[in-house]
Structure 1
Amino acid sequence: MSYTIALNFEDGVTRFIGCKEGETVLDAAYRQKVNLPMDCSDGVCGTCKGHCEQGEFDMGDEYIEEALSDEEAADGMVLTCQMVPSSDCVIQVPVASTLCKTEVGKVEGTVAAVEQLSEDSIELVVDLDDGAEIAFLPGQYVHIDVPGTEAHRSYSFSSLPGEKRATFLIRNIPNGVMSSYLGDRAAAGDRLTLTGPLGSFYIREVTRPVLMLAGGTGLAPFLSMLSQLVEKGCEAPIHLIYGVNKDDHLVKVDALDAFAARLPNFTYATVVVDEASEHPRKGYVTHHMDAEVMHDGDVDVYLCGPPPMVDAVLKHFDAQGIVPQSFHYEKFTPNEAGSKS
């Protein structure tokens, strides 16, 4: 029996390791050349302390109170030198990956398809090389090198982890480096380098209602998240509000319909900003966040969109006195190296 442990470092790098049954996370990491912080390895110093966001494990009783207090343990803090997983786990490591002598991964693949979904959106499909499956947490992103340039751009996966074919929903930016490549030069078989996974925006274990807020191509990570929820099953209510500027910017609605058919408690609403639109819901996502989807604050909120949308939601929560149980968001900014557009 082996478990997959996602180590999320404070610089945004995620490294996946395998942990054998009965093996501590620290030993598993060192075996795979990831030097997690450690001074004693005996549960005494607390140097290897991290936070387990999800998963089951045994901490034993060999560590001392000074290294890990009962209050910290109750909040999900762990000592990786004592932590023995009994399931897949996600652990926040409070140091940079470079200090642990581990590097972000790189995989190679080829362009399988490029499809213009709308004036605003392009879908890129990449076939990963044999043996190059990339592990990631649904919601995370990679840097993709732009062929023929020294630039890269960053995009969230819209596909599931572990699949041989990776998909990305990309905003079409006039004269943008990636947009120009995809629109003018891209051809099936082109070689691409993907670096990652990266980012702290990913779905956590679902234990209460979830509200997802997507702006434009910010829909991409939610497609990956929903795919995983379909695969694993989910009984909690999940509601997605998907906002775009114009009617024809709405894409992947058929995929959302398919998720609704397979996830009994999943619902979604689309919103269009354009005042000339005849869409039944107009305005911004904040105009359609009613009390029903907020569950009196007993809700986990995930938000991915351009900075104005993220700022508007933050101001809306503040003005309404809304404090979700947890709030995870990611901004994407066009025309910057390493941006999410």
Structure 2
Amino acid sequence: MSYTIALNFEDGVTRFIGCKAGETVLDAAYRQKVNLPMDCSDGVCGTCKGHCEQGEFDMGDEYIEDALSDEEAAEGMVLTCQMVPSADCVIQVPVASTLCKTEVGKVEGTVAAVERLSEDSIELVVDMDDSAELSFLPGQYVHIDVPGAGAHRSYSFSSLPGEKRATFLIRNIPGGVMSGYLSERAAVGDRLTLTGPLGSFYIREVTRPVLMLAGGTGLAPFLSMLAQLAQKREDGKGGDQPVHLIYGVNKDDHLVKVDALEALKERLPTFTYATVVVDEASDHPRKGYVTHHMDAEVMHDGDVDVYLCGPPPMVDAVLKYFDAEGIVPQSFHYEKFTPNQVGEAA
């Protein structure tokens, strides 16, 4: 028996390790050459303290309160030198990955397809050399090297972790480095290098209603998140909380992957979605911005986890809307992207 532990470092790097039954996270990390912070390894100093965001584990009773108080334990804080997982876990490590002598992972793949979905979006499909090495949390992104350009661009996965074929939604930007490659030079069989995973934008354990807000190609991480939620439901591991997505675009023909959303509705009965178009000349039934369609029903009186991914103006507008309306969700996770951004998801 082995469990997968995602270690999320404060510099945005995520490293996945395997933890054997009965093994502490600290020992598992050291065995795989990830030097987590540690002084005593006896539950005394508190140096190895982190926060477990999801998963099940046993902390035992051999640590002292000075290292981890009852209040901290109740909030999900853990000592990795004492923590013995009994399920897959996600742990926030409050130091940079470089201090733990761990590197961002690199994986190789081959271009399998490039499809123009609309005037402003392209889907890139990559066949990975080793899907087992492509671990990430749904919502995270990678840097993709642009062949012949000496540069990389960053994109969120729209596919599930561990799949042989990885997919990405990419905004088509005139003159863009990646857009130019995909539109003009890309060919099936081209070799690509992906570096990651990166980012703190990923789906947490669903214990209450969820509201997802997507702008343009910001839909990508939500496709990955929803696919995981559907898979968990099919495996009998939850899926009873309502999940609502509001997906906004500028023009009618910018709406893409609606067929994928319909398929996800079939697999996840608690999932609903609404599409919104900004263009005033559109005949779409819902026009305007996503903030115009966030009614009380989807806000659940604030008892909701909100995930937001889109261009900076959209993210800023939602933040201002929440502030103006006095809305304070139980949790709020967001990621903004800009054209040609090299350090954030796009």
State the TM-score, normalized to the length of structure 2.
Answer: 0.98
Q: CA deviation at 1:337?
A: 2.7
State the SS of the aligned residue for 2:118. coil
Task: Tell me what 1:287 maps to.
Answer: 292
Checking the alignment, whether the CA contact within 8 Å between 1:107 and 1:132 is kept in structure 2 is no
Task: Tell me what 1:239 maps to.
Answer: 244
Write the mapping of 1:1-341 to structure 2, written as runs, cut at 5 A: 1-130=1-130, 133-233=133-233, 234-341=239-346
Q: Which amino acid aligns with 2:226?
A: L
* CA offset digits 1:250-274 (Å, max 9, x no partner): 0000000111111111000000000
Q: CA deviation at 1:340?
A: 2.9
Checking the alignment, whether the CA contact within 8 Å between 2:131 and 2:163 is kept in structure 1 is no
Q: CA deviation at 1:133?
A: 3.5
Q: Which amino acid aligns with 1:217?
A: T
Q: CA deviation at 1:154?
A: 0.3
State the SS of the aligned residue for 2:4. strand
Q: Which amino acid aligns with 1:224?
A: S
For this pair of structures, how many residues does the alignment match?
A: 341
Task: Tell me what 2:236 maps to.
Answer: none
Q: Which amino acid aligns with 1:317?
A: F
Using a 3 Å threshold, how does the CA distance of structure 1 residues 339 and 71 change in structure 2: closer, same or farther?
A: closer
Distance (whole Å) between structure 1 residues aligned to residue 176 and residue 345 of structure 2 = 12
Q: Which amino acid aligns with 1:245?
A: N
* CA offset digits 1:38-85 (Å, max 9, x no partner): 000000000000000000000000000100001000000000000000
* CA offset digits 1:321-340 (Å, max 9, x no partner): 11000000000111233343
Q: Which amino acid aligns with 2:336?
A: K
Q: Which amino acid aligns with 2:227?
A: S
State the SS of the aligned residue for 1:34. coil
Q: Which amino acid aligns with 2:307?
A: Y
State the SS of the aligned residue for 1:230. helix
* CA offset digits 1:160-205 (Å, max 9, x no partner): 0000100000000000000000000000000000000000000000
Checking the alignment, whether the CA contact within 8 Å between 1:141 and 1:154 is kept in structure 2 is yes
* CA offset digits 1:257-301 (Å, max 9, x no partner): 111111111000000000000000000000000000000000000
* CA offset digits 1:217-266 (Å, max 9, x no partner): 00000000000011001110000000000000000000001111111110
Distance (whole Å) between structure 1 residues aligned to residue 119 and residue 182 of structure 2 = 13
State the SS of the aligned residue for 1:3. strand
Distance (whole Å) between structure 2 residues aligned to residue 302 and residue 339 of structure 1 = 16
Distance (whole Å) between structure 2 residues aligned to residue 195 and residue 202 of structure 1 = 17
Distance (whole Å) between structure 1 residues aligned to residue 282 and residue 269 of structure 2 = 30
Checking the alignment, whether the CA contact within 8 Å between 2:128 and 2:164 is kept in structure 1 is yes
Distance (whole Å) between structure 2 residues aligned to residue 125 and residue 295 of structure 1 = 37
Calculate percent identity across the aligned residue pairs. Answer: 89
Q: Which amino acid aligns with 2:149?
A: T
Q: CA deviation at 1:132?
A: 5.6
Q: CA deviation at 1:149?
A: 1.2
Distance (whole Å) between structure 2 residues aligned to residue 225 and residue 336 of structure 1 = 23
State the SS of the aligned residue for 1:117. strand
Structure 2: unaligned runs, 5 residues or longer: 234-238
Checking the alignment, whether the CA contact within 8 Å between 2:104 and 2:195 is kept in structure 1 is yes
Q: Which amino acid aligns with 1:63?
A: Y
Q: Which amino acid aligns with 1:238?
A: V
Checking the alignment, whether the CA contact within 8 Å between 1:7 and 1:14 is kept in structure 2 is yes
* CA offset digits 1:79-110 (Å, max 9, x no partner): 00000000000000000000000000000000
Q: Which amino acid aligns with 1:187?
A: A
Distance (whole Å) between structure 1 residues aligned to residue 342 and residue 314 of structure 2 = 21
Checking the alignment, whether the CA contact within 8 Å between 1:108 and 1:128 is kept in structure 2 is yes
Checking the alignment, whether the CA contact within 8 Å between 1:133 and 1:164 is kept in structure 2 is no
Distance (whole Å) between structure 1 residues aligned to residue 307 and residue 244 of structure 2 = 10
Checking the alignment, whether the CA contact within 8 Å between 1:133 and 1:163 is kept in structure 2 is no
* CA offset digits 1:5-24 (Å, max 9, x no partner): 00000000000000000000
